[in-house]
Copies of this chain bind each other. A is one copy, B any other.
Amino acid sequence: MQLRNIKLVIEYDGTRYNGWQSQKNGRGIQEMITNALHQVTGEEIKLNGSGRTDAGVHAYGQTANFLTDSKIPTEKIPLAVNSFLPKDIVIKSACEVSEDFHARYSVHGKKYMYIVNNSNIRSALDFYREYQFGEKLDYKSMKKAAEYFEGTHDFRAFMASGSKVKDTVRTIHKVQLKKREDDRIIFNFTGEGFLYNMVRIMVGTLLDVGTGKKKPEDVKNIILSKDRTQAGKTVPAQGLYLMEVYYE
């Protein structure tokens, strides 16, 4: 018998979780959803996420898929599953996809957002949703520096030093910066794929440009150096959001 393949779009506040994947210490978001799907379907569900997110990272558009033999209509899955989920995780939509769809292997691109609160004082309402960084920033220089990330490059210098990935060439389609009136700077990154901690290291490097520690043109040479120590620091997880995962 043919199982249905269901794709989910998921929003979560990562603050209380140990990341997407279940960990020895603490709860994983994947585990919470797998359990809720079990409650609804009565089946042992294998949930494939589009990729992991670290502890504290948020998502407006994480994706996952699973196979099911259950009779529940696809459009009723979100409401049914959400009733078994905590308030900080929600299934936004569910749709049936072809049998060869895999939330990770079929990915064509991803979009991430990073929020910097460029004020001297932390926010009470957004503390766990942004990185408060009070130093004066040259916004124009940061915008200029961001352009060097666009295109296909070897991003080894922007990968967490512990990562064992061999092929470090990635294509970044677009890096956009927006300045909001409330002192927030919003960074948007769209690309085919990202290395481990890559977005957070790119933001850390752009902040070094903003403070004048680095020049916009330096970004070009940092990429060419393939040396992690040349790039900026890894900014905190809590400012990062997985916005969208693209498929064909």
By a beta-carbon cutoff of 8 Å, the part of chain A in contact with chain B is 11-13, 58, 60, 78-79, 82, 87-90, 92-93, 121-125, 127-129
Contact of A60 (CB < 8 Å), options: B82, B88, B125, B128: B125
A122 surroundings in chain B (CB, below 8 A)? 82, 87, 90
Complexed CA–CA distance, A60 and B58 (Å): 23
Contact of A90 (CB < 8 Å), options: B78, B124, B128: B124
Complexed CA–CA distance, A129 and B125 (Å): 9
When all copies of this chain in the complex are counted, the total is: 2
A13 surroundings in chain B (CB, below 8 A)? 124-125
**Nearest chain B CB to A202 CB, angstrom units:** 23
Q: Are A87 and B128 in contact (CB under 8 A)?
A: yes
A129 surroundings in chain B (CB, below 8 A)? 125
> For residue A182, which residue of chain B has the nearest CB?
B60
Q: Are A90 and B123 in contact (CB under 8 A)?
A: yes
25 contacts between A and B (CB under 8 A): A11-B123, A11-B124, A11-B125, A12-B124, A12-B125, A13-B124, A13-B125, A58-B125, A60-B125, A78-B121, A79-B121, A82-B121, A82-B122, A87-B122, A87-B124, A87-B127, A88-B125, A88-B127, A89-B124, A90-B122, A90-B123, A90-B124, A90-B127, A92-B121, A93-B121
**Nearest chain B CB to A88 CB, angstrom units:** 5
> For residue A58, which residue of chain B has the nearest CB?
B125
**Nearest chain B CB to A118 CB, angstrom units:** 15
A127 surroundings in chain B (CB, below 8 A)? 87-88, 90
A60 surroundings in chain B (CB, below 8 A)? 125
A12 surroundings in chain B (CB, below 8 A)? 124-125
> For residue A241, which residue of chain B has the nearest CB?
B125
Complexed CA–CA distance, A121 and B92 (Å): 7
Complexed CA–CA distance, A82 and B127 (Å): 13
